[in-house]
Amino acid sequence: MKISELSGKLPENAIQFYVDTGFDELYPPQADAIRRGIVDGKNIVAAIPTASGKTLLAELVMLKSVLSGGKAIYIVPLRALASEKYDRFSQFSQLGIKVGISTGDFDSKDEWLGRCDIIITTSEKADSLLRNEASWMDELTVIVADEIHLINSPDRGPTLEMTLAKLMKLNPRAQILALSATIGNADEIAKWLDAELIRSDWRPVELREGILFGKAIDFINMKKEVAVDNRDSTIALSVDVIKDGGQCLIFTNTRKRAEETAKRVGRAIESIIGADERLTKMAKEIKEVGETDLCEKLAFCVENGAAFHHAGLRSEHRRIIEDGFRSNVIKVIACTPTLAAGLNLPARRVVIQSYKRYDAGFGLAPIPVLEYKQMCGRAGRPGLDPYGESVLIAKNFDERSVLMENYVLADPEDIWSKLGTENALRTHILSTIATGFASSRAQLLDFMDNTFYAFQQERWGLEHVIDKVLEFLDGEGMVVEHDDRLRATPLGRLVSRLYIDPLSASIVIKGLQTARKTAPLTLIHLICSTPDMRKLYLRSGDYIWVEAFATQHHNELAPMPMNNPEWYLAEVKTAMMFLDWVDERYENDITKKFGIGPGDIRALAETAEWLMHSTAELSAFLRSPHTRDARHLVQRIRYGIKPELLELTRLRGIGRARARRLYDAGYTDLSKLKNAGPKKIAKLIGVGVAAKVMEQLGE
């Protein structure tokens, strides 16, 4: 089917847009979706492989609706994926379509998004917009859920599920489109969403799944020899595909292994790809972004044509690597599985170094088939590769048989709702009541009947958990039940808008009421003790120095509980990291001391900033004396600065490093900065930034 055949089904200017950009022929799964009514308003679940055109299906649905005066929301699991989709959908501006993106500020309505035709958000941001009752949320005519299989995730699944349930309740006539490459029970998702199921194994590039055993890759219907020699298998597989003109993605099970693998592969391929000025430029750019040992290690790998990619890297570094790989300059990326979660980074060959991953409860455990299939889906670059290969590595014949049966020939597992726990339901039940989706226990149960959990299981399984959550919310003064009516209190509405776990709010409130001191450490430790804060891992060598710090600063910390001292010390270690951050310790020193990456500092600081902002809001609500200190700490955590730099960092473009240079040079406030003039300031922070600073100062 050709795109031109959609005349009458799609606006002519939309068809012309695709023709002008060189798109002519629809892929078979796309043509099937057209025949099944996707552009006629039918709900669709598209369970089709990566690179088979899922995004185009969403585009066609959104364009038809938006060009008729509708409004679409596109929900993704990752910020990086949101940015990728924003870049793509922004091309529709030539059709007069306005695209907006919002992934942060969880207590903001973002009313400006109402002026957009297509809105891209993460599921968490979409949930927060509902909680903050953004006025445009009931105007949606299309709801797209990308990577719908993540309903299976214990962390993100409940939010995605409840967000979809609320959006469907709010917009009963909206068209729903759910996308995924790997769903075992896609038929169940389709029934839940009252949708047509489009299921296909078709790919634009053939995918060969196989296992390296000895010196050959065993695919299902063929074998392929690989020159293994005495080198390790991963290097041999990488060198083999690069010599053949392809690129390679290597999935590892730890960050450390990703770094080591990239270093080894880089040395092995250096002579094959030769000197490349683009790689040298990229390595220099990596060093300029950050000054940690990890940056140096990454730059070294990149100069050789390889890179590693994991959450410990700063987002700027990840973008450099992704762009370098897409442009075929970087030949190999060794990464952790997060890269498989939707980012468009295909390669000729995908190597899965280990099919086991460490699990805190079980030790090394096999990964799910669903995750394996997500990794495989990265194999094969449409238009560039004649085929794609995914390769597992077997150590012996028995393991080869196990891998073939349990992964290569296996189907993805069914996905299951993870909504039925107190941890998952606390925040969602409060927001459901606070935003008026339910005003009685009966209405709450009726609303929960619309969830995937209730579709899969009997409702009585939820009733007991819901009653426990309601009891907790009532006891904490967040919800009141009277004459069979449920109502969120002003405190409950505030907690819902702040987008924090009600248990976190309870801990913060009690901490504010009992705090003996207002030292920064007191408030920092308070937010680190909440379930919303990810704690740093407590290594065996950490106990002595963390416990010594806790003893030394016991007057500024909450008391150590007798029942769980290890958890308490993990909280203290996390608080110590933030204390070093706001005391302007060098980033490299922090990463070494706490065994984390620069990206971890930024990610944790982002969570801490949000929790400290929530603490300040709760403090103001309680009229607590800690409000001013908490507000100052919000900005200190954002930039990693001492109090004297607060004024300077209010200027756009001035972070911790530039603010410190200005302050130490004697420009301690905005008036001194203004009087200095652009030439003197430019010597410290560069001509471009100095010009922008002077513009903000009215010069």
Indicate whether 341 pLDDT > 70.
no
Superfamily of domain 206-408: P-loop containing nucleotide triphosphate hydrolases (3.40.50.300)
- Asked if residue 516 has pLDDT above 90, the reply is no
Q: What's the pTM? A: 0.93
pLDDT at 497: 96
> What's the pLDDT tens digit per position in 141-151?
999 999 999 99
| Bridge partners of residue 308, in order along the sequence | 334
Contact (CB, 8 A) for 578 and 549: no
Query: What DSSP designation does 47 have?
Result: E
DSSP-based three-state secondary structure for 494: helix
CATH node for 502-640: 1.10.3380.30
Q: pLDDT at position 400, please?
A: 96
3-class secondary-structure state, position 481: strand
Residue range(s) occupied by CATH 3.40.50.300 in the chain = 3-199, 206-408
Ranges 388-392, 402-406, 421-425, 629-633: which has the least confidence: 421-425
The pLDDT score that the predictor gives to residue 563 is 83
**Ranges in the chain annotated CATH 1.10.3380.30:** 502-640
Q: What angle do CA 693, 697, 699 make, to 5 degrees?
A: 95
Mean pLDDT, the chain, rounded, equals: 93
Rounded CA separation 528/546 (Å): 14
Q: What is the CATH number of domain 3-199?
A: 3.40.50.300
In this prediction, what percent of the chain has a pLDDT beyond 70? 99
Q: Model confidence at 518, in pLDDT bands (50, 70, 90)?
A: confident
**pLDDT at residue 301 above 80?**
yes
Give me the sheet containing 332-335, strands edge to edge: 223-225, 216-219, 206-213, 387-393, 349-352, 248-251, 332-335, 306-309
Q: What is the DSSP letter of 476?
A: T
Is the domain 422-498 a CATH 1.10.10.10 member?
yes
pLDDT at residue 340 above 80?
no
pLDDT in tens, 215-243: 999 999 899 999 886 668 999 999 999 99
d(CA 266, CA 284): 17
Q: Looking at residues 376-397, what average pLDDT do you find?
A: 93
The percent of residues above 90 in pLDDT, for the chain, comes to 84
pLDDT at 50: 85
Q: Sorting pLDDT into bands at 50, 70 and 90, what band is 576?
A: very high
> What's the rounded mean pLDDT across residues 357-369?
84
In this prediction, residues 79-96 reach a mean pLDDT of 94
Give the CATH class of 648-696. mainly alpha
- In tens, the pLDDT along 615-660 reads 999 999 999 999 999 999 999 999 999 999 999 999 999 999 999 9
pLDDT for the residue numbered 163: 97
pLDDT of residue 338: 75
Q: pLDDT for 458-494, tens place per residue?
A: 878 789 999 999 999 999 999 999 888 999 999 999 9
